[in-house]
Amino acid sequence: MRIPIHPVAPALVQTAPAAADTATRLLKIRILRFDPRQPETLPHWQTYELLDAAGMTLFIALSEIREKLDPSLQFDFVCRAGICGSCAMLINGRPGLACRTLTKNLDLEFTLAPLPVFELIGDLSVDTGKWMRGMSERLQTWVHQQEEAVDLRRLEARMEPELAEKIYELDRCIECGCCVAACGTARMREDFVGAVGLNKIARFRLDPRDTRDDDDFYELIGDDDGVFGCMSLLGCHDVCPKQLPLSTQIAFLRRKMVAMAFK
Ligand code: FES
């Protein structure tokens, strides 16, 4: 569910008790709050004040807010190490990972909001899993093999290390949703597969174990909800926390798919 835009309700301010250390930066964190299960409440900004601390990440700051100030605050995390992708949110309007963002690199006052495009669960928590699953099923993001029977005793086919390296590079995507949230097309076209989807096609296209050819890939992404929907704004490339070569991959795929269209 997308957050409806309402007039901002009067700001609420809560301050955490002073910490015992020598931190002097008082952070003012404005968080966009809304619980879709309570539609009678309006989306509103709530400000929390917190003393900065050495090595504090946004994840730590949010945990402290939830522990000391407001147990009702909703946000997601699992790994705290930039691996699971679940803590992505808008940090001063830009998609990023809360667990990889140090508060010392932000101004004293900053905003946090949920990623757009994805269904809102509450406050900073969105359902990226549902979106990713839909994209994955549509693009069939798994190795397709034409085998009559599975032979478990057969040795796995050898792959050149250089090729394995190239596939691994694209496989580093953590499906955090930052690229989708930063994408102009994804904001306009509900079924656009996003850079994350196109990156997956690029990955399986490289994989020699996948028997699909460019004709098959054209069927999957040769339209405006696929590679031809990209407006080349490069937002995905700019915000990817894993620095994946998204714009290069999309441009390459587009050239290949154009060639298929005129075949
Ligand atoms: S908590 Fe896993 S990426 Fe941030």
Closest by CA position to 45, among listed 86, 12, 21 = 12
Confirm whether 12-126 and 140-261 share one CATH topology: no
d(CA 217, CA 233): 23
**Is the Cβ atom of 97 under 6 angstroms away from ligand 1?**
yes
Q: Which of 2, 258, 253 is nearest to 126 (CA)?
A: 2
For ligand 1, whether the C-beta of 78 sits within 6 Å is yes
- The percentage of the chain sitting over the pLDDT mark of 90, rounded to a whole number, equals 83
Residue in 35, 59, 31, 5 with CA at minimum distance from that of residue 121: 35
CATH class of 12-126: alpha beta
Query: Mind listing the pLDDT tens digit for each residue in 235-244?
Result: 999 999 999 9
Asked whether 75 and 125 are in contact (CB, 8 A), the reply is yes
Residue 4 has pLDDT above 90, yes or no: no
Substitution site in 60, 80, 128 for ligand 1 pocket (most atoms within 8 Å of beta carbon): 80
Ligand 1 center–CA 13 separation, angstroms? 27
Residue 13 pLDDT > 80? no
Domain boundaries, the chain: 12-126, 140-261
According to CATH, the topology of domain 140-261 is: Fumarate Reductase Iron-sulfur Protein; Chain B, domain 2 (1.10.1060)
23, 54 contact by CB (below 8 A) = yes
Does position 112 have pLDDT exceeding 60, yes or no?
A: yes
Question: What integer pLDDT is reported at residue 44 of this predicted model?
Answer: 96
82 in contact with ligand 1, CB cutoff 6 A: yes
| Rounded distance from Cα 169 to ligand 1 centre (Å) | 19
Alpha-carbon span 152 to 146, nearest angstrom: 15
Q: How many residues are given for the chain? A: 263
Ligand 1 atom closest to 84 (CA): 2
- pLDDT band at 87; cut points 50, 70, 90: very high
Q: What is the mean pLDDT of the chain?
A: 91
Is the Cβ–Cβ distance between 98 and 89 less than 8 Å? yes
CB of 242 closer than 6 angstroms to any ligand 1 atom: no
Instruction: Output DSSP code: residue 157.
Output: P
Task: Ligand 1, residue 176: give the atom nearest the CA.
Answer: 3
In tens, the pLDDT along 161-196 reads 999 999 999 999 999 999 999 999 999 999 999 999
Select from 176, 67, 198, 74 the least CA-distant residue to 131: 176
CA 45 to centroid of chain Cα atoms: 23
Q: Which atom of ligand 1 is nearest to the CA of 99?
A: 4
186 closest CA partner among 236, 138, 140: 236
Share of the chain above pLDDT 70, in %: 91
Mutate to test the pocket of ligand 1, among 58, 83, 91 (most ligand atoms within 8 A of CB): 83
Name, in order, each residue with C-beta under 8 angstroms of 63's C-beta and a sequence gap of 6 or more. Answer: none
Which residues are within 8 A (CB) of 50 and not within 5 positions of it... i.e. 6 or more apart? 15, 16, 26, 27, 29, 61, 64, 65
- What pLDDT, on the 0 to 100 scale, is given for residue 5? 41
Structure confidence at residue 11 (pLDDT)? 53
Q: Is the CB of 60 under 6 A from ligand 1?
A: no
Phi, psi angle pair for 224, to nearest 5°? -75, -15
- Ligand 1 contact, 62 CB (< 6 A): no
pLDDT at 7 (0 to 100): 42
Compute the average pLDDT of residues 192-201: 98
Tell me how far the alpha carbon of residue 134 lies from the centroid of ligand 1, in angstroms.
Answer: 22
